[in-house]
Chains A and B, each alone.
Chain A
Amino acid sequence: MKRRDFLKTSLAASALLGASKSLAGTTHQPIDGREVSKMAFPEKKPLITYSDRPPLLESPRSTFVHEFTPNDEFFVRWHLPEIPKHNDLDKYVIEIDGLVERPIKITIGELKKNFEQVEVNAVLQCGGNSRSAFDPIAGGIQWGSGAMGCAKWKGVRLKDVLDYAGLKKNAHWIEFNGKDKAAYYKTPNFVREIELHELDDNVIIAYEMNGEDLPYLNGFPVRLVMPGYYSDNWVKMLSHITVSDKYKSLFFMDVAYRVPDNKTESETPTKRAKKTKPITHMNVKSVIGYPTNGEKVYYNSHVVVRGVAFDSGYGIKKVEISLDGGKTWEEANLKADNGRYSYRGFYYPFKPTKYGKIKLMARATNNLGETQPFAHEIGWNHGGYKYNGIDEVTIEVI
């Protein structure tokens, strides 16, 4: 550890110890049980709705009994207000330029015909999923735990397409832009960059989601799929790929989607971390899909707790359930393994033998042994990113 880093850490630590609770920043269970809207969006069931322009939709908890999220329940998050009214499949092209031997424009038909079609099952999660867990309230949409989903993505390897265009020797950064536009010319586009070394065979340009065309609001006709990474990299309505040797300074890379660059990735509201890093890979997390908060179940009946668990690709080793507020834990049954980037479904049958309220908890552990902390153990960060606290649901036995 560098001396300066040490100083910073110890300062943060003393701030934590010395400050009152509100000064330190705390974390609790995210807001749950918001009602779905009465109004459905195109190709969607009514979902929890935060904004129509740009569209921001969240899946309700009950969605998380599915190991593959139905397309019409899949969350939606756009950054810019002007989304094309119509994408004509015959005319839609992805342009690839920059440090390539041949700049190309490629149609969706050519993508499907000229490259090997591959499938990857992967979780897509907003970096700000569960943001409503942070206190003081972190800036940004106050998502519950439903800004995530898992799908079977089908498309072609980005690597194959880039190889076809021919990467030049000094290629280092790959920049992605989609068709969504801002209202003002001066507003930066939602552009993302990755480094060439982050590119592997699992990174695809996807045109199918769970066996169907992508829903319009999930990026029809094509989006980038980067398994294991938070969704900020999964550019929707992908239309332009530029290869370069230099990192461009971009708002959505430099300012948004970053966490404190320290071990606990946390800071205090009054003493923000000076050094930050991109959120990149997802941490281990699980969400209970059934039962939901407030559900009433009968005494001595057969209750099956169900939900999903995932991480950034190491795979889920176990999911444990607690019926006594986290004092004792028992292993849940894991469902079939659908691939290391996919949800791992879990279920835990039990018979309630006591009347009254029960607090159910689910805790996932991945193959590295990383496990979910309790909500209150998670450090605060001002962007409200990467919350992965042990999920809780309170039901009543009647």
Chain B
Amino acid sequence: MKKILFGSLIVASSLFAQVKGDIEVPYIPYEIKMGKGFDTVQANCLMCHSFGYIINQGPQSREFWKEKVEKMIKAFGAPITKEDAKTVEEYLFKHYGNGKEK
């Protein structure tokens, strides 16, 4: 059997223990496109959610990704610098964009 990978690059995924015994949520290694800005995405986004949460939004416009990053900062309090926010937006639009600005 393939060994299940636990823990991700930044933080371990939540470990679950139930009264009936220990159970753990598997870590899923998503296939992610490599490219400029990848490290910044890794450092800023994975603290709160998986790559799956990003790629399963579907291909989106630049404006969509820009608003998403802004939402993470404004609504969810993620400490992302202005510079990093721009880098993340560029990465997301390049690799998970629909080619449209709006």
CA distance A41 to B50 in the complex (A): 15
**A90 → B minimal CB distance (Å):** 9
Closest residue on chain B to residue A382 by CB atoms: B64
Q: Which of A165-202 contact B (CB under 8 A)?
A: 182-188
CA distance A157 to B29 in the complex (A): 42
Known: A50-B56, A55-B25. A81 touches B49 (CB 8 A): yes
Known: A51-B50, A53-B50, A184-B78. A141 touches B56 (CB 8 A): yes
Residue A56 at the B interface, CB < 8 A? yes
Most chain A beta carbons < 10 A, residue from B13, B58, B68, B98:
B58
Residue A43 at the B interface, CB < 8 A? yes
Collect the chain A residues with CB atoms within 8 Å of residue B79's CB.
184
CA distance A40 to B16 in the complex (A): 14
Residue B99 at the A interface, CB < 8 A? no
Chain A interface extent, by class: 35 or more
Known: A87-B19, A216-B18. A187 touches B52 (CB 8 A): no
Q: Contact at B28–A49, with CB atoms within 8 Å?
A: yes
Per the CB 8 Å criterion, the residue count for chain B at the interface is 36
Q: Contact at A183–B48, with CB atoms within 8 Å?
A: yes
Per-residue interface assignment for chain A, residues 56 to 85, with 1 indicating a CB less than 8 Å from any chain B CB and 0 otherwise? 100000000000000000000000111101
Q: Which of A114-161 contact B (CB under 8 A)?
A: 132, 136-137, 139-142
Most chain B beta carbons < 10 A, residue from A82, A88, A139, A140:
A139
CA distance A59 to B39 in the complex (A): 33
Q: Contact at B57–A141, with CB atoms within 8 Å?
A: yes
Closest residue on chain B to residue A185 by CB atoms: B77
Known: A56-B52, A187-B48. A85 touches B76 (CB 8 A): no
Residue A89 at the B interface, CB < 8 A? yes
Partner of B16, one of A56, A85, A136, A139: A85
Chain B residues near A (Cβ < 8 Å):
4, 8, 11, 13-19, 23-28, 47-50, 52-53, 56-61, 64, 68, 75-79, 98
A-B contact pairs, 19 of them (CB 8 A): A42-B18, A51-B52, A51-B56, A52-B13, A52-B27, A52-B28, A52-B52, A53-B14, A55-B25, A56-B53, A80-B48, A83-B14, A83-B16, A137-B60, A139-B60, A139-B68, A184-B48, A184-B76, A217-B16
